[in-house]
C-alpha cells in the first residue's frame, strides 16, 4: 500500500511538472522562445487568486486562470511580437527582461513579503481509501492535469487550429508558407501557455497556502529541465519529461537512506546528466528545429 501511495504522489508531482513543462514547450515549439517569464504568469495567477479571496471559489479560480492567460497574451502582443525572427539569445534575454518586469510590478503592487491564504487548505488534509492515506491535493492535481492534458490533446489533434499549432511547432516557416497565420498561432500558443501557468499557479497556492513574487521561479526551472529531458520543442516529450522528473524525485525521496536524503536533488540532477549523456536529443525529440523567418 505504501508503494501505491508513493506512486500516487509521484504521479501528482509529475503531473504538476508536466503542466509547467508543457506550457514552456508549447511556446518554445511555436515561437522559439525559452520563456522564463512563464514563472511570472504563475505568480500573477496566484496573486489574483489572493486578491479575489472572499468571492465564490469558482470565480476566484477562473479569475486567476484568466489573469495567467491575459498576462501571457499581453507579453506576446506587447513584447515578443516585435522581436519576431530575432536570434534565440536575444529572445532569451527578452524573456528574462519580461520576467523581471512582471516581478517588479508584483512587488510594487503587493510587496515582496510572502503572503498566506486559506485557499485550498481543505485539500491539504488526507483522504482515506481503505488503508490508503492520500493527500486530497495530490488527487485533485492528478485529475485536473489529466483533464487539461486530455483537452489539449483534443485541441491539438482534432481541431484546425490544433493542426496549425502542431505544424508550426514542427516547422514554423513551412507552416507560414502554406498560409498558416503566424500571429494567430503565436497568440494561441501564448494563451495555452498562460492557461497552463494559471492552472499551475492555482494548484501551487492550494498546495502551499502562500504567495510570493518569485514563487514561479523554481517551477519554471524544474519544468525547463523536464522539457530538456523530453526533447526541446517536443510537446509529448515535455509531458514525458515532467512525469520522469516527478517519478525520479519521489523515488529518490522514498528509496534514499535518511542520511543521504538531503543530497536528493544532487543525485537527481546527476541522473539527468546520465540520461542526457546517452540521449542528448531527449526522450521524445522534436522532428526538427528549423530557423524562423
Partner 1 sequence: MSRLELIDLRVRYGAVGAVRGIDLVVESGRILALIGPNGAGKSTTLLALAGACEGKVSGRIVLDGKDISGDSPEKRTRAGIALVPEGRRIFTKLTVEQNLTLARAGNAGRAEVKIAEIYERFSVLGDFARRPAGLLSGGQQQQLAIGRALMTRPNLLLLDEPSLGLAPKVVEEVFEAVVRLRDEGLAVVLVEQNAKRAAELADMTYVLHNGQVDGEGRAAVGDELAHAFFAASDSEGSAR
Which of residues 130 and 179 has its CB atom nearest to partner 1 in the complex?
179
| Contact letters for partner 1, residues 118-157 (x by CB under 8 A) | ----------------------------------------
Inter-residue contact 58 to 213 (CB < 8 Å)? no
CA torsion sign for 120, 125, 130, 131 is positive
| Out of 57, 121, 173, 281, the residue judged to bind partner 1 by CB under 8 A | 173
Is 7 a residue that touches partner 1 (CB under 8 A)?
no
Binding segment toward partner 1, per CB under 8 A, in 114-122, 174-182, 207-215, 217-225: 174-182
Binding segment toward partner 1, per CB under 8 A, in 104-112, 122-130, 208-216, 285-293: 285-293
Minimum CB separation of residue 293 from partner 1 in Å reads 5
What length does the chain have? 293
Is 181 a residue that touches partner 1 (CB under 8 A)?
yes
Residue pointed to by grid coordinates 546517452:
278
Minimum CB separation of residue 168 from partner 1 in Å reads 9
Is 49 a residue that touches partner 1 (CB under 8 A)?
no
Is 284 a residue that touches partner 1 (CB under 8 A)?
no
CA distance 59 to 117: 16
Binding segment toward partner 1, per CB under 8 A, in 39-47, 145-153, 165-173, 273-281: 165-173
In the chain, the N- to C-terminal Cα span, in Å, equals 54
Is 90 a residue that touches partner 1 (CB under 8 A)?
no
Give residues with Cβ within 8 angstroms of 262, minimum separation 6.
Answer: none
For residue 223, give the H/E element and its range: helix 217-230
Nearest to 72 by CA among 182, 197, 203: 197
Instruction: Sort 282 into a burial class: Cβ within 10 Å, 0-12 / 13-18 / 19+.
Output: buried
Binding segment toward partner 1, per CB under 8 A, in 96-104, 159-167, 211-219, 273-281: 159-167
Q: How far is CA 51 from CA 64, 117, 229, in A?
A: 9, 10, 36
Is 167 a residue that touches partner 1 (CB under 8 A)?
yes
What residues make contact with partner 1 under the rule CB under 8 A? Answer: 160, 163-164, 166-167, 170-171, 173-182, 287, 291, 293
Amino acid at each position: 500500500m505504501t508503494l501505491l501511495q508513493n506512486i500516487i504522489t509521484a504521479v501528482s508531482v509529475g503531473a504538476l511538472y508536466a503542466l509547467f513543462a508543457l506550457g514552456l514547450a508549447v511556446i518554445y515549439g511555436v515561437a522559439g522562445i525559452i520563456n522564463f517569464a512563464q514563472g511570472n504568469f504563475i505568480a500573477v495567477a496566484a496573486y489574483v487568486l489572493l486578491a479575489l479571496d472572499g468571492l465564490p471559489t469558482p470565480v476566484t479560480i477562473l479569475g486567476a486562470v484568466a489573469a495567467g492567460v491575459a498576462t501571457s497574451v499581453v507579453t506576446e502582443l506587447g513584447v515578443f511580437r516585435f522581436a519576431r525572427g530575432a536570434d534565440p539569445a536575444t529572445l532569451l534575454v527578452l524573456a528574462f527582461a519580461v520576467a523581471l518586469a512582471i516581478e517588479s510590478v508584483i512587488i510594487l503592487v503587493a510587496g515582496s513579503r510572502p503572503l498566506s491564504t486559506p485557499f485550498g487548505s481543505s485539500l491539504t488534509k488526507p483522504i482515506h481509501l481503505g488503508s490508503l492515506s492520500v493527500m486530497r491535493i495530490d488527487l485533485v492535481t492528478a485529475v485536473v492535469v489529466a483533464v487539461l492534458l486530455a483537452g489539449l490533446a483534443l485541441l491539438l489533434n482534432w481541431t484546425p487550429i490544433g493542426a496549425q499549432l502542431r505544424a508550426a511547432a514542427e516547422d514554423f516557416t513551412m507552416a507560414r508558407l502554406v498560409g498558416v497565420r503566424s500571429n494567430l498561432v503565436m497568440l494561441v500558443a501564448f494563451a495555452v501557455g498562460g492557461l497552463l501557468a494559471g492552472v499551475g499557479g492555482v494548484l501551487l497556492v492550494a498546495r502551499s497556502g502562500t504567495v510570493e513574487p518569485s514563487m514561479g521561479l523554481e517551477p519554471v526551472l524544474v519544468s525547463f529541465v523536464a522539457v530538456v529531458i523530453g526533447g526541446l520543442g517536443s510537446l509529448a516529450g515535455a509531458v514525458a519529461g515532467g512525469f520522469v522528473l516527478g517519478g525520479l524525485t519521489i523515488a529518490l525521496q522514498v528509496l534514499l537512506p535518511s542520511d543521504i536524503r538531503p543530497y536528493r536533488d544532487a543525485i537527481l540532477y546527476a541522473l539527468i546528466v546520465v540520461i542526457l549523456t546517452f540521449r542528448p536529443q531527449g526522450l521524445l525529440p522534436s522532428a526538427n528545429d528549423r530557423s524562423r523567418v
